[in-house]
Each structure stands twice: as C-alpha cells, then as structure tokens.
Amino acid sequence: MTTPEFIIVGRVRKAHGIRGEVVVEVITDAPDAVFASGRRVFAGTAAGDISPSRQELHVRSVRSFNEGILVGFDEVPERNAAELWRGRYLLLPADEVAPPADDEVYLHELIGMRVELSGGQPIGTIEELYELPQGLALDVRLAEPRDGETVLLLYDDQTIASVDKDARVIIVTPPDGLLE
C-alpha cells in the first residue's frame, strides 16, 4: 500500500466557547508538534482527501481539554464559524509526518487488511473504521460461510494479537462467541 499525500492528524468534535475554539480529537502520536502555535493543517475527509480548495487552517492557540485539545485557528474567529467545522478531519502532508514505527500503522493502512485467527483461519477483510466511545472499531466483512455479514472488532490489546503491514494481515483473538 502506498502512503497517501495527506495523513489524518485530528478530527474536530465540536465548537467550544465564543472565540472560535474547537474541540479536537487527536489522531497522532505527536500532538504537541502537529498542533503547535503557528503550524498549519488542511481541512479534509476521513479518507485522507483534502478539500478541493486546499483550505489551510493556522493554529492560533492550543490547550488540553478533557480527552482532546482545544484549538483556536486564525481562520475561525467565532463560534458560528467554529460550528461549521464539526466532524471535519485535519490533515498534514505525509512528508511532514514522522513515519510509523515498525509496530505501528496509519489508520488508512487498516482498510482492506485480511483478518485471521492465530491458527491462520480467515475471518474476513476490514471494510471500515469507526471511532466509538470504547475506542477504534474495525468493521470486518466476514469470509465464508457467512460471506457478506460484518462484525465489529475493537482495536485494542485484548483483541489484536499482531499486525503485519507487509503481508496486510491482522491476527485477532476475538471475544468468545463473537464469531458464532
């Protein structure tokens, strides 16, 4: 799989206050570097595509907030403008993001990976990713004999045994009864 031109680094959850700040869910291991004052990010989609206008946002201010950060952008001066950003993704050019470590993957790399049990039995293929309150969930389209059905697997230490980026295979240990 090739690296896309842009990498997702955050998602705007909601507007906060009257000064145009937004609550950002951080989707990067380096939030202090990515969301530093003066840095710029691009508006984009969950697929990692940027808006056709290549809209840039420049970080004016940043501070910790609950399970994310509060970010003020120069281009978002007040709450009404901030409301328009709800659900939007924030991206950086791939060449400005440190490559993942050998045991890490970008979210976009998970789509299309095969899912197998530790014994090599195929389960299916990852079709979609969902951010749930419990964490990242993988929507897996099941292989035979339940071809076409889907199941959600949490991307956590209890479920994911290993990820092989080169072979594009995830080995899982699903909860008892999930695949029956």
pLDDT of 3 higher than 70: no
**Residue 71 belongs to some domain of the structure:** yes
**Residue 81 belongs to some domain of the structure:** yes
CATH at residue 25: 2.40.30.60
Say if residue 19 is in the same domain as residue 77: yes
Say if residue 55 is in the same domain as residue 13: yes
Q: How many domains does the chain have?
A: 2
**Residue 59 belongs to some domain of the structure:** yes
**Residue 1 belongs to some domain of the structure:** no
Say if residue 43 is in the same domain as residue 62: yes
pLDDT tens column, 97-137: 887 777 788 877 888 999 999 888 999 999 988 877 777 88
Residue 103 contacts residue 87 (beta carbons within 8 Å):
no
Say if residue 80 is in the same domain as residue 20: yes
pTM over 0.75: no
Say if residue 18 is in the same domain as residue 89: yes
pLDDT tens column, 5-55: 888 899 899 999 999 999 998 888 888 989 999 999 998 877 777 777 678
Residue 21 contacts residue 15 (beta carbons within 8 Å):
yes
**Residue 179 belongs to some domain of the structure:** no
Say if residue 88 is in the same domain as residue 149: no
Return the pLDDT at 2. Answer: 58
CA-based diameter of the chain, in Å?
Answer: 55
Strand ordering across the sheet containing 169-172: 150-154, 135-142, 122-132, 114-117, 169-172, 160-164
Range of the domain at 50: 6-96
Q: Could you write out the DSSP letters of every residue in 95-113?
A: GGSPPPPTT---HHHHTT-
Q: What is the pLDDT averaged over residues 153-170?
A: 90
Last-in-domain residue among 96, 127, 154: 96
User: 46 or 1: whose pLDDT is higher?
Assistant: 46
